[in-house]
Amino acid sequence: SSGRAGANAQRFLLDALRDLDGSLREMGSRLFVVRGCPEEVLPHLFHAWGTTRLTFEVDSEPLARRRDAAVAELAARHGVEVIREVSHTLYDTERVLALNDGKAPLTYNRLQSLLASLGPPEKPAPALTWEHLQGCHTPCQVSHDADYGVPTLEELCQDPAEVGPRLYPGGETAALARLDTLMERTAWVCGFKKPETEPTSLSPSTTVLSPYLRFGCLSVRTFWWRLDEVYRGHSQPPVSLHGQLLWREFFYTAGAGIPNFDRMVGNPVCLQVDWDDNPQHLRAWREGRTGYPFIDAIMTQLRAEGWIHHLARHAVACFLTRGDLWVSWEEGLKVFEELLLDADWSLNAGNWLWLSGSAFFHRYFHVYSPVAFGKKTDRDGAYIRKYLPVLKDFPAEYIYEPWKAPRAVQERAGCLVGTHYPQPIVEHRAASERNLGRMK
């Protein structure tokens, strides 16, 4: 898992590993969690276990590619056959890049036309059964849990007190149950249009299958073909659920084909912007203390739950970068990488490039208002009251702009702006106008 993942994402991963171990036990096998650097521990195990074959999933991220190449080389030196399968994406990104003369397609339409020539994604492999494992010898010792058990959060240097409510337990069992529940809502699935879902709804208005896709708990091919089974007179890409999976493919292909994809410098598709270095503003944004309740509620939900709606991501990403604070998208990317359960390397970088106006998207004059945007779907501010209880007693007309409330109203609400809740760290209108000039 990525080096920056925080307590919620690490817990999700450990849930997933425990679930996998449970499923393997039912088939008379076990999961072996090995501690250490792959290049060091694998040769030892090849020897100890008499390994003849190593199979793993193709990973298109640059760091992973270097690690996997080193492991494959070691395996060859030890006479171990290596089999790599594409299963994290719908299509083989290498093949898509090759079709496009080795370059990443930079528009969704271009990706769609490349994929059209490849036909529909492959069907998922059948689920593993007890029969598949006949003749496999699992070298299980009495000391298995001590030697190869799933680690604890403490072992991963995470404080268990830091984790939020377990709204989305990790693992394939939870993933398939969530998928089944969604597929029963045929009309919702067929009518799904991403831009029309609500960022302010108190329970998620989208699928929340992204963490399960990120950690490999849910096969993306399974998701694709289950949608195919229920689709009748359905919405179309790019806004449909198939369309969302193709967006995932779009950013995976971009991440695999564009150098320095997660950085500004040396990234050939990225606008080179002279962002401000402002640690105070970055900290206020990260900790949900900007003085804009809609932004702060989103960042509070993110820290507690590890998931926020994609339009909420748009709002806070725009606010941090081109909208209000003019802080680099790379800083936002690091915070999301720590706090999101679904922070896929390619998707995280691609969306930050997009929302900061640095690549793919150049309608930079379209700025999300930290006041009006949330109000559109949540006039009363129920979302803010849930995540920022300090503001829960403000009347609806002031809940998005508490600094405008007369002192008597603030006193009645038991919350003085500047004392119990911060003053806005920037004035939105002035800041966004200045930034529009800079972006131009």
Per-residue pLDDT at 3 exceeds 80: no
Q: Return the CATH number at 187.
A: 1.25.40.80
Does 330 map to a domain?
yes
230 and 105 in one domain? Answer: yes
Specify whether the CB–CB gap between 93 and 105 falls below 8 A. Answer: no
Does 28 map to a domain?
no
418 and 368 in one domain? Answer: yes
Give per-residue pLDDT as tens, 23-63: 999 998 999 999 999 989 999 999 999 999 999 999 999 99
226 and 102 in one domain? Answer: yes
342 is in an annotated binding site: yes
Alpha helices in 60-107 (DSSP H): 62-77, 93-99
246 is in an annotated binding site: yes
Burial bucket for residue 389 (CB in 10 Å: 0-12, 13-18, 19+):
exposed
Would you state the pLDDT for residue 363? Answer: 86
Does 45 map to a domain?
no
pLDDT > 90: percent of the chain = 94
Would you state the pLDDT for residue 136? Answer: 83
250 and 115 in one domain? Answer: yes
343 is in an annotated binding site: yes
Does 265 map to a domain?
no
Does 221 map to a domain?
yes
426 and 323 in one domain? Answer: yes
Does 243 map to a domain?
yes
Specify whether the CB–CB gap between 391 and 382 falls below 8 A. Answer: no
Specify whether the CB–CB gap between 239 and 195 falls below 8 A. Answer: yes
218 and 285 in one domain? Answer: no
Give per-residue pLDDT as tens, 220-233: 999 999 999 999 99
249 is in an annotated binding site: yes
* Residue 397: strand, helix, or coil: helix
Per-residue pLDDT at 202 exceeds 60: yes
Contacts of 295 (CB under 8 A, 6+ apart): 285, 288, 315, 316, 319, 370
- CA 403 to CA 419: how far, in whole Å? 11
End-to-end Cα separation, the chain, in angstroms: 38
210 is in an annotated binding site: yes
Mean per-residue pLDDT for 254-271?
Answer: 98
Give per-residue pLDDT as tens, 297-354: 999 999 999 999 999 999 999 999 999 999 999 999 999 999 999 999 999 999 999 9
Look at the chain and report how many structural domains it folds into.
Answer: 2
251 is in an annotated binding site: yes
Give per-residue pLDDT as tens, 147-176: 999 999 999 999 998 899 999 999 999 999
CA distances from 112 to 86, 88, 96, 242, 247 (A): 19, 19, 10, 12, 10
Would you state the pLDDT for residue 137? Answer: 81
316 and 205 in one domain? Answer: no
221 and 328 in one domain? Answer: no
303 and 241 in one domain? Answer: no
Specify whether the CB–CB gap between 316 and 295 falls below 8 A. Answer: yes
Would you state the pLDDT for residue 2? Answer: 52
Tell me which of 257, 289, 307 is where a domain ends. 257
85 is in an annotated binding site: no
244 and 294 in one domain? Answer: no
Range of the domain at 110: 90-124+170-257
Per-residue pLDDT at 1 exceeds 50: no
Give per-residue pLDDT as tens, 412-426: 999 999 999 999 999
289 and 241 in one domain? Answer: no
138 is in an annotated binding site: no
* Residue 54: strand, helix, or coil: strand
197 and 119 in one domain? Answer: yes
Residue 193 is which amino acid?
Answer: K
